[in-house]
Amino acid sequence: MKRGSILKIIRHTHHSKKGSKKKIWKILVLALVIFFAIDGLIIYKFYNDAEQSVNSTYKNVKHTNNRNVSLKGGQPFSILLLGVDTGDYGRTYQGRSDTIMLAVVNPKTKTTTLASIPRDTKVAIPGHGFNNKINAAYSYSGVSGAMNIVQSYLNVPVDHYIEMNMGGLVQLSSALGPIKVNNDLDFTNMGVHFPKGEITLNKDNILAYTRMRYEDPRGDYGRQLRQRAVLTQLVEKITTLNGIMRYQDVLSALSSNMKTDITFDQMKTIASKYRKADNVKQLQLQGNGQMIDGVSYEVVPQSNLNKITTELRSALDIKK
């Protein structure tokens, strides 16, 4: 073979390899463009769905708190968590706040302080006398009444609220799937038996577990303990891959059964600036059962009330 022919073959082979490399790079670049385009569409849809769902849950209420909390500045804030006894069993009336918790989120200490308030706590409600159960404030004046009375009773500012009904707990459980909790009491409620030890909760038994109090020697305090455990596990599961993948079902459960005065922009700020406040400190307002005028109340000693108030105000960085 002539030397010129060999050179032609070498050049042709060299150009073919260069062409193949260019083709591979083009394919890779095209694949990356498609990947990021699809990824962008998914993120946009997630963002858009989340914004629509949050907007549908937004409901501003008037109450006596005059604080102007700077979430963008990372200032600690409080949220009143209300679980109301409607939304399931065919209940559609105003109802009462079956579960009352005050959460304080502090990004500096990376701690969320969660205080449970017994629903039967004896309080004075303006316009309704001195002998009232704290959960009656919701039935009298809705969320606004509940925020005002909790704020006044604890001497702690209430900045925001989240209200969810019983139907929301069932739907959220259905969306996320089973959770596991450590049960410290063998009992049966609503025809469902719960043995001691680790148990599995799902949409079919979660209400039976969280609402039982009559068979518990601790009464409502035992129920509050179970509710805090379930709430903690549900929140943790929302942040898992499974929870994120089922975000549409989760958003549907929340938007149908939840109300809050936290805007979508505020939620984004909380997600970015407060996400490290995941060390949960649990507090319990502790009272003594007393019969007054034929009605059972939980009467909280002033010493216990002062202790809870001091811890919550400290968590909010309130010096006075």
Report the candidate in 72, 73, 69, 75 with the shortest Cα–Cα distance to residue 106: 75
Average pLDDT over residues 221-227: 84
pLDDT score recorded for residue 198: 95
Q: Residue 145, exposed/middle/buried by CB under 10 A (0-12, 13-18, 19+)?
A: buried
Across the chain, what does the average pLDDT equal? 79
| 261 pLDDT more than 90 | no
Q: Indicate whether 234 pLDDT > 60.
A: yes
What's the confidence (pLDDT) of residue 154? 96
pLDDT at residue 279, rounded to an integer: 84
Q: What is the pLDDT of residue 302?
A: 95
> 241 lies in a domain?
yes
Kindly state the average pLDDT of the residues 202-222.
Answer: 87
pLDDT over 70 for what percent of the chain?
A: 73
**166 shares its domain with 268:** yes
Q: Which domain holds residue 160?
A: 61-315
In a shared domain, residues 26 and 87: no
pLDDT at 26: 56
pLDDT at 89 over 50: no
DSSP for the chain, written as a single string: --HHHHHHHHHHHHHHHHHHHHHHHHHHHHHHHHHHHHHHHHHHHHHHHHHHHHHHHB-----S------TTTT--EEEEEEEES-SSTT--S---EEEEEEEEEETTTTEEEEEE--TTBEE--TTS-S-EETTHHHHHHHHHHHHHHHHHHHT----EEEEEEHHHHHHHHHHH--EEEEE-S-EEETTEEE-SEEEEE-TTTHHHHHH--TT-TTTHHHHHHHHHHHHHHHHHHHTSHHHHHTHHHHHHHHHHHEEES--HHHHHHHHHHSTT--EEEEEE---EEEEETTEEEEE--HHHHHHHHHHHHHHTT---
146 in Cβ contact with 82 (< 8 Å): yes
Distance separating alpha carbons of residues 176 and 292, to the nearest angstrom: 43
Predicted confidence (pLDDT) at residue 36 exceeds the cutoff of 60:
no
Residue 54's pLDDT is: 64
Whether 99 has a pLDDT exceeding 60, the answer reads yes
Give pLDDT, residue 44: 46
Bridge partners (DSSP) listed for residue 297: 290
For residue 122, pLDDT beyond 90: yes
Q: Which residue has the higher pLDDT, 86 or 194?
A: 194
Measured from the Cβ of residue 241, the count of other Cβ atoms closer than 10 Å reads 7
Confidence check: pLDDT of 104 > 50 = yes
Question: Per the structure block, which two tokens stand in for 173?
Answer: 């459980």
Q: Is residue 320 part of a domain?
A: no
The mean-pLDDT minimum among 31-40, 109-118, 175-184, 191-200 falls in 31-40
Q: Length of the chain in residues, anyone?
A: 320
Both 180 and 198 in a single domain?
yes
Look at residues 219, 202, 210, 203 and name the one whose alpha carbon lies nearest to residue 183.
210
Q: Are residues 49 and 68 in the same domain?
A: no
Show the tokens assigned to 148.
Answer: 């005002």
Beta bridge partners of 279: 111
Q: How many separate domains does the chain show? A: 2
Helices 264-273 and 3-57 pack at an angle, to 10 degrees, of 120
Q: What's the pLDDT score for residue 91?
A: 44
Predicted confidence at residue 42, as pLDDT, reads: 41
Whether 144 and 196 share a structural domain: yes
* Residues 216, 227: Cα–Cα separation, whole Å: 13
Which of 22, 41, 57 delimits the end of a domain?
A: 57
pLDDT of residue 95: 57
Question: What mean pLDDT comes out for the span 192-205?
Answer: 94
Which of the two residues, 320 and 172, has the higher pLDDT score? 172
From CA 137, how far away is CA 151, in angstroms rounded?
A: 12
State the CATH number of the domain containing residue 179. 3.40.630.190
* Bigger pLDDT: 316 vs 85: 316
Q: What tokens appear for 91 in the block? A: 């209940």
Q: How far is CA 62 from the centre of its chain?
A: 22
Q: Which of 29, 57, 85 is the last residue of a domain?
A: 57
State residue 39's pLDDT score. 44
- 198 and 298 in a single domain? The answer is yes
Same domain, 77 and 25: no
Same domain membership, residue 100 and residue 65: yes
138 plus 65 within the same structural domain: yes
Tokens coding 266: 């505020």
